[in-house]
């Protein structure tokens, strides 16, 4: 009986120690990792400033590449494509529309013309992850600032190609091309899982473009289109990352 009790006590002690070790391992905070983050991003934007006078709600889609250090600094670059379908330039095509707002082609027929917002933003980024996770040192509040080049215009589609005023270089007299530098600030939450299944970020950002019109003459308002502009986009931003971190052996591996 005494031997049985001793064996049972040893087994119980061994199991308790095993569970304790597992609990310690599970609760231990994982150290920060370094490596590349390849991302795809999306924005839903509300325009402000001069942007709101020309366009309505818009979207951005793009990609990014960042390098993350062990101290949770981030450096990289991104590109976004601006997409929208809400145009607020009331004076456009005033010379080729009738009183009802319908477009008239060279044969006097009423046709439709499609107008879209199109553009892009390309920039370099730097930021910091403020760790707030109890288990993973890579996760937390992400602050990123980027600067770069912004361009946007009104894309005009005359599918019938029957309005001479919108052919070739004449189209440039209506498209409101503008470009210049921009500064953008993003604040969000970054989550990088340890099991490679979920890696994302979501947050708010504001982009401020110091742009200028780039057309020498606008036909509908009969003046140059070279005014200086303050183009603002305030949006909700989210994205998905593919991490490529380094092991202790310094070999890259995909998360």
Same domain for 104 and 196, yes or no, is yes
Number of domains in the chain: 2
Domain containing 162 — which CATH number? Answer: 2.40.160.20
pLDDT of residue 32: 87
pLDDT of residue 171: 85
> How far, in Å, are 153, 214, 251 from residue 163 at the CA level?
20, 23, 60
- Tracing tokens 């969000």 back to the chain, one arrives at 188
Same domain for 177 and 204, yes or no, is yes
- Which one, of 144, 149, 155, lies nearest residue 79 by Cα? 149
CA 20 from chain centre, in angstroms, equals 44
pLDDT of residue 99: 58
pLDDT of residue 20: 36
223 strand-pairing partners: 218
Q: Whole-angstrom Cα distance, residue 27 to residue 245? A: 22
Q: Whole-angstrom Cα distance, residue 209 to residue 49? A: 10
pLDDT of residue 90: 73
Same domain for 15 and 42, yes or no, is no
Same domain for 19 and 60, yes or no, is no
The 10s digit of each residue's pLDDT in 150-181 is 999 999 887 766 676 677 788 898 899 999 99
> How far, in Å, are 66, 72, 254 from residue 75 at the CA level?
5, 10, 19
Residues near 9 by Cβ (< 8 Å), separated by ≥ 6? none
Q: Which tokens go with 4?
A: 């049985």
Same domain for 234 and 128, yes or no, is yes
Same domain for 111 and 150, yes or no, is yes
Q: Whole-angstrom Cα distance, residue 197 to residue 225? A: 50
pLDDT of residue 103: 66
Same domain for 12 and 117, yes or no, is no
251 burial class (0-12, 13-18, 19+ CB within 10 angstroms)?
A: exposed
Same domain for 107 and 7, yes or no, is no
Q: Whole-angstrom Cα distance, residue 215 to residue 226? A: 6
pLDDT of residue 95: 63
187 strand-pairing partners: 143, 204
**Are residues 146 and 124 in contact, defined by beta-carbon separation less than 8 angstroms?**
yes
pLDDT of residue 194: 82
Tell me the residue range of the domain where 10 lies.
1-30
Same domain for 53 and 139, yes or no, is yes
Output b/e per residue, 218-236; b: 16+ Cβ within 10 A. bbbeeeebeeebebbbbbe
Same domain for 124 and 215, yes or no, is yes
Q: Which segments in the chain show pLDDT lower than 50?
A: 1-2, 4-26, 249-253, 255
pLDDT of residue 89: 82
pLDDT of residue 169: 82
Same domain for 195 and 104, yes or no, is yes
CA 143 from chain centre, in angstroms, equals 14
Same domain for 237 and 158, yes or no, is yes
């Amino acid at each position: 009986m005494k031997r049985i009790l001793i064996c049972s006590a040893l087994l119980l002690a061994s199991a308790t120690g095993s569970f304790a070790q597992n609990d310690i391992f599970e609760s231990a905070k994982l150290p920060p990792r370094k490596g590349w983050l390849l991302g795809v991003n999306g924005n839903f934007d509300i325009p402000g400033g001069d942007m709101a006078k020309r366009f309505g709600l818009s979207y951005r889609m793009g990609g990014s590449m960042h390098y993350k250090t062990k101290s949770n600094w981030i450096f990289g670059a991104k590109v976004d494509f601006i997409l929208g379908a809400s145009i607020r330039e009331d004076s456009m095509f005033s010379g080729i529309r009738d009183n009802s707002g319908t477009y008239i082609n060279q044969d006097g027929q009423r046709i439709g013309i499609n107008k879209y917002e199109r553009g892009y933003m390309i920039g370099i980024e730097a930021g910091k992850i403020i760790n707030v996770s109890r288990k993973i040192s890579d996760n937390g509040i992400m602050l990123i600032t980027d600067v770069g080049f912004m361009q946007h215009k009104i894309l005009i589609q005359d599918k019938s190609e029957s309005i001479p005023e919108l052919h070739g270089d004449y189209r440039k007299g209506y498209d409101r091309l503008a470009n210049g530098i921009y500064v953008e600030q993003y604040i969000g939450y970054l989550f990088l899982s340890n099991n490679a299944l979920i890696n994302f970020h979501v947050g708010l950002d504001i982009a401020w473009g110091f742009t200028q019109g780039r057309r020498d003459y606008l036909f509908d308002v009969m003046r140059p289109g070279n005014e200086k502009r303050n183009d603002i986009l305030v949006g909700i931003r989210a994205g998905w990352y593919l991490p490529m971190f380094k092991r202790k052996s310094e070999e890259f591996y995909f998360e």
